Structure 1
Amino acid sequence: MAQYVTFVTGINEQIIMEQTHCFHCGDLCKTDHIVYHNKDFCCNGCKTVYEIFSENDLTCYYDLQQAPGATPKVIEGKYEFLKQENIIEKLTEFNDNKTQIVTLSIPHIHCSSCIWILENLNKLSSHITASQVNFGKKTVRVTYHTSDFSLKELVLLLSRIGYEPYISLEDYDTGKNKVNRQLIYKLGIAGFAFGNVMFLSFPEYFEVNEFWLEQYKPLFRWLMFSFSLPVVFYAAQDYFVSAYKGLKSGLLNIDVPIALGIIVLFLRSTSDILFDLGSGFFDSLTGLVFFLLLGKFFQQKTYAFLSFERDYKSYFPIAITKIENSEETPIQIYDIKKGDRLLIRNEELIPVDGILINGKARIDYSFVTGESETISKKSGDKVFAGGKQTSGVIEMEALKSVEQSYLTQLWSNDVFNKKKEDSFTNITNTISKRFTIFVLTIAFVSTAYWLVTDASKALNVFTAVLIIACPCAIALSAPFTFGNLLRLFGKFKFYVKNASVIEQLASINTIIFDKTGTITSNKKSTVTYDGDMLSINEEALLKNTLRGSNHPLSRSLYNILNEHNIITLNHFEEHIGKGIEASHHADHIKIGSAKFVGINETTALNTTVHISTNNNYKGKYIFYNSYRKGLSKLFNQLKKDFDLVILSGDNEGEYENLKKLLPSKTKLIFNQKPNDKLEYIKYHQTEGAKILMVGDGLNDAGALAQSNVGIAISENINVFSPACDAILDASKLNKLHLFIKASKSALKIIKWSFVLSFIYNIIGLYFAVTGQLSPVIAAILMPLSSISIVVFTTISTNFLNRKL
């Protein structure tokens, strides 16, 4: 990593000095630098980091980018405060004394090497189980065991390898980060300089020769030069940094031609006034940067307005049961307040941190930590948001209000994200890369032509081509279209996880529906009992067993039974797809399918739930299903374009009713266990089917995760499945075909945006190459092209709103 620099000290004398750069951080080494493994290091800190990577077989960190590291700082004693429990509680988002999860801000994250090393922290310490980088926010989320490892040791480890976290307790207390106002400052400086340079250019514009020529021409020109300095070296620095990083990584990003245009304008203008050749192009230069930043500011403000993330955080249609004055009332989770007493049923997620009050808790934190081991908790223990109760019903007291952002993070967890192709992102990146090469080629060829024919136009042509032909509009079309559509879907209670789901939704050719709780309405079903009368004790045991389950049939049956005193069960177990069993003292009960309770049943005409107590069969509850409003019309609309399937875990009792209600080509398959549904989807996917699964989110979690798009139907129930791709309010099921149609239309909008952008660039390039377009006009037109694409996509997607 040595470089040689030649200094000329006399006519014939030269001194050659060797400059050596640090292998780890790239800084210039001093004369007393350290050599280790034939590599140069500027200090012991960088050498130590290299040793750590070398010992743990992580030296390919240096293969991703040359000298990507930072020099570790001496921080002995700096993080002693991280031993205090109250501070650890504030900083960690999960802490059960065995496992902790913390998200730390790492300002030094800047390249692929940073991401790679931070996501391989488990190789540096066996106590770390997972680490995930958010490159945009420059954060890393780390999960680690606390047996022989602590938050302080994690921070020190990060600091030793050159990634010292930024920790501000003030930020954690308020939950808000300071707003980055850099763009506003840069825009203000560029606008101020542009206005003044235009004012100082008036004598040149109007060819005033008297006092201008004699006294003030040099002064005005050097003033224009002075105003351009903060514009070039401060306001435009983001373009230079982005272009430099792209070139350093071997990529031609869209900022390369912009940065090149700014440099050429500045150097040419400076040489003009230096050698008294003219006033230069400082008006075009400052105007260019101002309008570029103005376009960037507009894009940021518009995207913030369209941001779908803010919307679905507050509208998860998930309810929780609140206990108040011995009454159980379902409330939306964002209405939870500190001190509320909450009922958590079996297979239900804990929405907030709290204290366990009643019941036997066995909590599965795999949604949070990725580890499936369940943890037992007793009364008085703390329980954390994101855990799933797996052993009956518990009661807890909320320690704080719900954090929607936490549920958003859980829903977006990579554990549940299937690797799906985002083709429009790939198209955008490919076009942008090739477009830059294309633009640079045209710029150099056209400049060479004008240098031969009319050298006075060459510079204007070069800069105008670089500026006017920018693929920004292409890059904006997909995120703005999808972002706006996600926001509109949210208005209609259809909450989609991310933009790629819309793309997948537009490509489906098969739709599979669950029956119970999906196409049937639990609130309108009627139930009758056929069998021996239940005693008071048996009915109380039945009621309290159903109280702990979230299955749609359990909820329906629970709501029609008479009120009984709440009892604490000795044992509770839910067998997904089969039934529930529980015991209280000497009494034992089974609720579920005929086979589950131990009897042979002839074909039933309706959905049935059987009961046995102490191994004695008692009878069955018969459900007369009420199908959702508009179901027949929905299926008739969908049958034109899709293969339709009903996959039900119930018996064939509803076969005739469904056959009359649904189109003739609809496949009806019954007696399907959760795993059977998953395997059915997997098999048909191998045959080329693109499957949309619509289910209730509990029994169908595996099928939802396996399908190309999984939609969980919500009827204000307490079940939340992070494995689904979208949540649809049950009242909006009859609009499903419109949501799919809107997704297809969104792809058409993006394609038309590409076409409009190409037309604009071809026209702009014609005027630029022929010398009819000045750089400052090009600078005005470039952000206007981006704005026009944003306006087009926004108006087009809002037009879809009318159809919805």
Structure 2
Amino acid sequence: MQQTCFHCGNNCEKHSVFYDEKNFCCNGCKTVYEIFSTNNLSCYYDLQSAPGAIPKEVEGKYDYLDNPAIIEKLVEFDDGKLQIVNLYIPHIHCSSCIWILENLHKLQPAIKNAQVDFPKKTIRITYNLEQFNLKEIVKLLNSIGYEPYISLNAYSKGKQKVDRSLIYKLGVAGFAFGNVMFLSFPEYFEVSEFWLEQYKHLFRWLMFGFSIPVVFYAAQEYFISAYKGLRAKILNIDVPISLGILVLFVRSFIEIFMDWGSGFFDSLTGLVFFLLLGKFFQQKTYSFLSFERDYKSYFPIAVTRLNLQENKEENIQVYDIQKGDRLLIRNSELLPVDCILINGKAEIDYSFVTGESEAVHKNSGDKLFAGGKQLSGAIEVEALKSVEQSYLTQLWSNDIFNKNKEETFVNLTNRISKYFTYVVLAIAFGATTFWLFIDSSLAINVFTAVLIIACPCALALSTPFALGNMLRIFGRQKLYLKNATIIEKLAQVDTIIFDKTGTITTNNQREIYYEGIHLNKAEEALLKNTLRSSNHPLSRALYDFLAEQNIQTLDDFEEVTGNGIYATKAENSIRLGSAKFVGNTAETNTQDTVVHIQANDAYKGKYIFHNQYRNGVERLFEELEKRYHIIILSGDNEGEKERLQQLLPKSAQLFFNQKPEDKLNYIKSLQKKGHKVAMIGDGLNDAGALAQSDVGISIAENVNVFSPACDAILEASNFSKISSFFKASQQTISIIKSSFVLSFLYNVVGLYFAVTGQLSPIIAAILMPLSSISVLVFVTFLTNYSARKLFSSTKSQDNKN
């Protein structure tokens, strides 16, 4: 009996290594098993049998990773204590791989975190540089059979190794298919004068020769996938496809060997060619959607650039940042690029990048990394390079911020595909058995045609393509989603919560006036520079309202979320915010939005704001009232209550004086009652509520309010389209369901012709990718049409207003 390696599944042959009552093909596999067993990671083998690979000897191979210049090119973060590296690992292929790689910290405690991106076959590792280094990381990965692919040229260009194997396989299958069809012509047309005995056998064996690379090279992934699925006791979609290819090949070989006929080599090579053509079409379309996502759907994030020649500040989009630009980073803003600290007190929170929440103090001249959040006032930095938008996308999608939210619709698709395979196999074997008794010559055709025509590729593709296309459309309408599944969550929402300040009110149009004792010149300068460091909507509005002052670096700055700001410069101090925060116990008027001022421990007065609501807000609430429960959660006082009651529908609820934790707890209470909640806020004080909600949407208006806690970012100029985004999401789900029905009807009709013996395998192979394409065209056309209809009507309404 042939023995297989417990770790990698290879044949042990004569040199079997026996350990712990298990067979291994070499000492390398035995060593990996020992490592996993010693560290209580042996359940690696429970997820899938023999999932590992044979580790290679690497003595001296990675010595170049001792070179600091090379390490700097490979790592994406390095603050002297922590390093983060993203490595491409070709061997990642199953759930066991993901599990063991994301549990590397159990093998090496210096590894803080490891996240696998399965589609890209990459792993992002955060580790303690004082205890471990990059070379040791790579050697550890290699020792357990996951050797990373490292190419300095690829990293310098920002690209990983490109896999062109599908193109090569498609070329081989196409070449063989064309030649087999050409060699089949004499028999197709019954050319008896040419089809002599000697040429007949030659042509048949030539067709067999052309089919060999098609089956054993071009179609190998289908066999590998089917084998892995069966080994894991899973019937995936590649099982019936592989079975069809194998039956065609074996039956055709027997026919020409026994001289019974010419076989089905034309159907076989055509089947593989059209299968690969469909896969190539799918890959190219996915690549297009990915391109749209990463490079065209720029986040609406702005940053303040300092024009030193004209001594002024200007807001620019982050992708306009150039190397050498001087940037102003305010309190709670993220660093959009790697940079050098020039002025200011830098306390950087890298938790968005590393998961470590401890702030890092930096001095002038120190290097700061993109993704860090400034916690102590404003700082001036000089950009070391232009922004890499893909890095911001990666930061936004970091698993640190992903919650375990149900993906019900995706799971439904997977369940349908799973049962579909069982049904297809049952129909194929049942129909074949029937035809063996009726007309055995048709049995092989029926069996193969059923396996091919009933492939649920169209069923499986409709969801990602419909959601992907709508993701692109939303991006053009300036709603930027973290991923396509957010569309499904939008469609399930029944409750929408709005923040007030900076969300339904605009920061660009406000009436502000002052009541109280006038500030002296030193106090005015301190107030202006304190506001300069803050990103709160009221701070930004008041900063623009006040007269220009000389720019100063504050000695101390503290912003208490939901209360106010405290700052000092030399002997002067200032507090601004709520009446309670500045110690004004005599304040009784709660009918206005106000910012109170205390300078040098003496109460001075208050700035009163008259809010300007966004255009179309009243019509928006009227539209949303028809489908959703509307709630306003505001941290401000009740000064705007009467005005809001006029704008909002009667069923809407209003809550004022809400602290950030109050908003978060209120959303939790709604979710416990079974509600699906969307939270729409400004991305600053609402970070907790945005993260807790089923869908968190951050409104961006000329400031850097990028928050990984949110699921979507909406440019403030398109605030009036919120209702259209929700409607478009619901219509997209309806389109996906209708595509399921279309795919089901197609399969019913196709199976009828296949079971009755009226459909040849080659026709089935042609129809299968055509059915997938037809479903993709169907969902693409309908999503484009519904979106165009919705957003054009919203635009016309805005023009009327």
Aligned equivalent of 2:357: 372
* 2:448 counterpart of 1:463: yes
Greater shift, 170-179 or 340-349, is seen at 170-179
Aligned equivalent of 2:781: 795
Report the CA distance between 1:178 and its aligned residue: 4.1
Matches within 5 A, 1:655-694: 655-694=641-680
Aligned equivalent of 1:337: 322
TM-score of the superposition, structure 2-length normalised? 0.97
Cα pair 2:297 2:472 within 8 Å, conserved = no
Counterpart AA for 2:392: L
Report the CA distance between 1:649 and its aligned residue: 0.7
1:580, 1:121 → 2: CA distance?
43
Q: Deviations over 1:292-333 (max 9, x none)?
A: 122222222223333376357641000111112221111111
Aligned equivalent of 1:24: 7
* 2:609 counterpart of 1:626: no
Aligned equivalent of 2:215: 232
In structure 2, the CA distance between the partners of 1:33 and 1:296, relative to structure 1 (3 Å rule), is closer
Counterpart AA for 1:744: Q
* 2:303 counterpart of 1:317: no
Cα pair 1:308 1:483 within 8 Å, conserved = no
Matches within 5 A, 1:727-738: 727-738=713-724
Aligned equivalent of 2:767: 781
Cα pair 1:313 1:408 within 8 Å, conserved = no
Aligned equivalent of 1:446: 431
User: What SS does structure 2 have at the residue aligned with 1:212?
Assistant: coil
Matches within 5 A, 1:505-524: 505-524=490-509
1:30, 1:306 → 2: CA distance?
47
- Alignment equivalent of 1:771, drawn from 739, 752, 757: 757
Report the CA distance between 1:25 and its aligned residue: 2.2
In structure 2, the CA distance between the partners of 1:33 and 1:456, relative to structure 1 (3 Å rule), is closer
Aligned equivalent of 2:796: none
Report the CA distance between 1:48 and its aligned residue: 2.0
In structure 2, the CA distance between the partners of 1:110 and 1:714, relative to structure 1 (3 Å rule), is same
Q: Deviations over 1:545-573 (max 9, x none)?
A: 00110000000000111111111111100
Aligned equivalent of 1:58: 41
In structure 2, the CA distance between the partners of 1:490 and 1:784, relative to structure 1 (3 Å rule), is same
Matches within 5 A, 1:136-535: 136-307=119-290, 310-311=293-294, 314-325=297-308, 326-535=311-520
Aligned equivalent of 1:8: none
Report the CA distance between 1:603 and its aligned residue: 2.7
Cα pair 2:743 2:775 within 8 Å, conserved = yes
Counterpart AA for 1:100: Q
Aligned equivalent of 2:624: 638
Report the CA distance between 1:215 and its aligned residue: 2.8
Greater shift, 660-669 or 249-258, is seen at 660-669
2:780, 2:730 → 1: CA distance?
16
Cα pair 1:333 1:402 within 8 Å, conserved = yes
Report the CA distance between 1:79 and its aligned residue: 1.2
Cα pair 1:352 1:399 within 8 Å, conserved = yes
Unpaired runs of 5+ in structure 2? Answer: 792-801
User: What SS does structure 2 have at the residue aligned with 1:62?
Assistant: helix
1:631, 1:414 → 2: CA distance?
34
User: What SS does structure 1 have at the residue aligned with 2:52?
Assistant: coil
Q: Deviations over 1:494-544 (max 9, x none)?
A: 011112211111111111110000000110011101111111100000000
Q: Deviations over 1:574-621 (max 9, x none)?
A: 000000000011111001000100012113322000000111000000
User: What SS does structure 1 have at the residue aligned with 2:654?
Assistant: strand
* 2:596 counterpart of 1:613: no
Aligned equivalent of 2:739: 753
Q: Deviations over 1:463-511 (max 9, x none)?
A: 1111111111110110010000000000010011112211111111111
Greater shift, 72-81 or 342-351, is seen at 72-81
Counterpart AA for 1:134: D
Report the CA distance between 1:179 and its aligned residue: 3.2
- Alignment equivalent of 1:114, drawn from 79, 83, 97: 97
Cα pair 2:329 2:379 within 8 Å, conserved = yes
Counterpart AA for 2:781: I
Unpaired runs of 5+ in structure 1? Answer: 5-18
Counterpart AA for 1:177: Q
Aligned equivalent of 1:725: 711
- Alignment equivalent of 1:78, drawn from 53, 57, 61: 61
Cα pair 1:530 1:621 within 8 Å, conserved = yes
1:757, 1:243 → 2: CA distance?
23
1:619, 1:308 → 2: CA distance?
53
- Alignment equivalent of 1:38, drawn from 18, 21, 24: 21
Greater shift, 96-105 or 423-432, is seen at 423-432
2:282, 2:226 → 1: CA distance?
20
1:631, 1:503 → 2: CA distance?
25
Report the CA distance between 1:47 and its aligned residue: 2.3
Aligned equivalent of 1:12: none
User: What SS does structure 1 have at the residue aligned with 2:502?
Assistant: coil
Aligned equivalent of 2:568: 583
Report the CA distance between 1:407 and its aligned residue: 0.8
Report the CA distance between 1:693 and its aligned residue: 0.7
Aligned equivalent of 2:799: none
1:593, 1:211 → 2: CA distance?
98
In structure 2, the CA distance between the partners of 1:650 and 1:90, relative to structure 1 (3 Å rule), is same
In structure 2, the CA distance between the partners of 1:178 and 1:25, relative to structure 1 (3 Å rule), is closer
1:308, 1:524 → 2: CA distance?
37
Cα pair 2:294 2:389 within 8 Å, conserved = no
In structure 2, the CA distance between the partners of 1:650 and 1:211, relative to structure 1 (3 Å rule), is closer
2:469, 2:295 → 1: CA distance?
13
Greater shift, 373-382 or 199-208, is seen at 199-208
RMSD (Å), alpha carbons: 1.3
1:196, 1:21 → 2: CA distance?
39
User: What SS does structure 1 have at the residue aligned with 2:195?
Assistant: helix
Report the CA distance between 1:21 and its aligned residue: 2.9
User: What SS does structure 2 have at the residue aligned with 1:426?
Assistant: helix
1:344, 1:366 → 2: CA distance?
17
Greater shift, 325-334 or 577-586, is seen at 325-334
* 2:56 counterpart of 1:100: no
1:122, 1:512 → 2: CA distance?
40
Give % identity. 68
Q: Deviations over 1:312-362 (max 9, x none)?
A: 764100011111222111111111111111111000101111111111111
Report the CA distance between 1:87 and its aligned residue: 1.1
Greater shift, 187-196 or 425-434, is seen at 187-196
Cα pair 1:313 1:405 within 8 Å, conserved = no
Cα pair 1:311 1:487 within 8 Å, conserved = no
In structure 2, the CA distance between the partners of 1:278 and 1:32, relative to structure 1 (3 Å rule), is closer
Counterpart AA for 1:110: H
Cα pair 1:311 1:490 within 8 Å, conserved = no
- How many pairs align? 787
In structure 2, the CA distance between the partners of 1:237 and 1:29, relative to structure 1 (3 Å rule), is closer
